[in-house]
């Protein structure tokens, strides 16, 4: 942009190269990278600069002058109203998974410096899959809605494309007094429903069957295991997502699940999703989790198994020798502290679950530098109509 006006508010014609981690599209303008929302590879667009830095800029798309053949009209009308929940609805559903694979490949090539990394396309939930957990915001008129993209403002929701019908009934019928955010959760197996207000909001008109509060629980059936999930505990967004993730982790773990090489460690183990489904009964397992509510759920979910629940941060846990370590860290990834703890286990096999492409690549680089080989990284599409991606990577010690 050195040869032209590059101030905020300037309009530019841009040619989109590719999609990148985080969901934006990437263009270049006189050598400078420009990140643009709602654009697709191959398109020519008119955009307005909204942020200008020395090394990059951000722009808001104004109109498409040459559209991609993969561009579609978003199937949910609330997208046009500004809802930021499903940021890839303008990309054809049939192309979304491949786009996520491409984003992961680029992240491994650039961040991990592994251009030949064995990235494979894994499973995907159906685009009709219903989310059983949603976090919503209170709108000014006392209803539940979603945030606008990159904003604290809210959008009223009449009907959500990806929400489970049991939750849609609640959104359509309840009122809310106060401000803040509310999590809604249901079970596809039992039909149980619960709500949790994170702030000062009070949900009014709840049906008698709906439990309320951080301690409220629902029970979900995943891969033959019934799991208790408290409202303040993390759980996958849908039953289909949990099933696919369990399957991918089990395949990546393979023969190392038999316990012959040592215990199985389930790091950042949450309510015990993997410990209760992937680890065979009778195999010694240690689940490490920092959330008190998730640990309480895990104690219940792992009853009758050879499992120990450790309530501590994985990075602070005194590591034990293990035959297999499964780790599912937060979006920021393992980082050096998490990798250091993992290395102290001397596990010959590691299964890393990542919910961010760049974090997956960054952690892969750390593990490879520490003496592991990447066998494969399987890209799952568990969040249709969004840029969010899940990567299950298998590592073996050299």
pLDDT at residue 385 in the model: 94
Fold of 11-71: OB fold (Dihydrolipoamide Acetyltransferase, E2P) (2.40.50)
Phi, psi torsion values for 51, nearest 5 degrees: -155, 130
Q: Which residues of the chain are in CATH 3.40.50.150 domains?
A: 95-127+237-397
Give the pLDDT confidence score for residue 4 in this predicted structure. 60
Query: Per DSSP, what are the bridge partners of residue 193?
Result: 186, 210
Helix (H) or strand (E) holding 172: helix 165-173
Residue 247 in 3-state DSSP? Answer: helix
Return residue ranges of the chain for CATH 2.40.50.140. Answer: 11-71
Name the pTM for this structure.
0.94
pLDDT at 374: 98
Burial of 11 (0-12, 13-18, 19+ CB in 10 A): exposed
Q: Is 63 exposed, middle or buried (0-12, 13-18, 19+ CB in 10 A)?
A: exposed
CA 99/CA 103 separation, integer angstroms: 6
pLDDT value of residue 158: 87
Closest CA to 55 of 6, 21, 115: 6
Give the pLDDT of the chain (398 residues) as one tens digit per residue: 555 667 888 999 999 999 999 999 999 998 899 999 999 999 999 999 999 998 899 999 999 999 999 999 999 999 988 998 899 999 999 999 999 999 999 999 999 999 999 999 999 998 777 899 999 999 999 999 999 988 889 999 988 999 999 999 999 999 999 999 999 999 999 999 999 999 888 999 999 999 999 999 999 999 999 999 999 999 999 999 999 999 999 999 999 999 999 999 999 999 999 999 999 999 999 999 999 999 999 999 999 999 999 999 999 999 999 999 999 999 999 999 999 999 999 999 999 999 999 999 999 999 999 999 999 999 999 999 999 999 999 999 99
CATH 3.40.30.10 fits 95-127+237-397, yes or no: no
Tokens of 204: 């009014």
Partner residues linked to 124 by β-bridges: 381
**Main-chain phi, psi angles of 152, to 5 degrees:** -90, -10
pLDDT given for residue 127 in this prediction: 75
């Amino acid at each position: 942009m050195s040869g032209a006006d590059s101030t905020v508010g300037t309009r530019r014609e841009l040619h989109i190269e590719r999609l990148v981690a985080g969901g934006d599209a990437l263009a270049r303008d006189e050598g400078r990278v420009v990140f643009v929302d709602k654009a697709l590879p191959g398109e020519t667009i008119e955009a307005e600069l909204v942020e200008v830095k020395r090394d990059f800029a951000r722009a808001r798309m104004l109109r498409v002058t040459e559209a991609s053949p993969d561009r579609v009209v978003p199937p949910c009308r609330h997208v046009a109203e500004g809802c930021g929940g499903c940021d890839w609805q303008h990309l054809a559903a049939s192309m979304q998974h491949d786009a996520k694979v491409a984003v992961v490949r680029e992240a491994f090539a650039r961040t991990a410096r592994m251009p030949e990394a064995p990235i494979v396309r894994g499973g995907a939930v159906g685009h009709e899959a219903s989310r059983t957990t949603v976090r919503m915001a209170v709108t000014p008129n006392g209803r539940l809605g979603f945030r606008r993209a990159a904003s604290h403002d809210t959008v009223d929701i009449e009907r959500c494309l990806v929400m489970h019908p049991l939750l849609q009934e609640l959104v359509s019928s309840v009122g809310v007094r106060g401000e803040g955010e509310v999590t809604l959760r249901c079970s596809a197996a039992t039909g149980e429903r619960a709500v949790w207000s994170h702030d000062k909001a009070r949900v009014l008109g709840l049906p008698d069957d709906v439990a309320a509060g951080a301690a409220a629980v629902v029970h979900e059936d995943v891969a033959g295991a019934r799991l208790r999930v408290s409202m303040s505990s993390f759980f996958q967004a849908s039953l289909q997502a949990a099933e696919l993730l369990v399957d991918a982790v089990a395949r990546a773990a393979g023969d190392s699940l038999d316990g012959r090489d040592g215990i199985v460690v389930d790091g950042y183990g949450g309510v015990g999703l993997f410990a209760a489904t992937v680890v065979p009964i009778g195999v010694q397992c240690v689940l490490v989790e920092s959330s008190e509510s998730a640990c309480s759920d895990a104690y219940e979910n792992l009853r009758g198994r050879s499992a120990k629940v450790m309530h501590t941060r994985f990075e602070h846990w005194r590591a034990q020798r293990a035959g297999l370590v499964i780790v599912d860290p937060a979006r920021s990834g393992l980082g050096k502290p998490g990798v250091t703890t993992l290395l102290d286990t001397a596990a010959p096999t590691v299964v890393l679950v990542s919910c961010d492409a760049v974090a997956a690549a960054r952690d892969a680089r750390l593990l490879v530098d520490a003496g592991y080989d990447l066998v494969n990284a399987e890209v799952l599409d568990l969040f249709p109509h969004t840029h969010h991606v899940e990567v299950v990577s298998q590592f073996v010690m050299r």
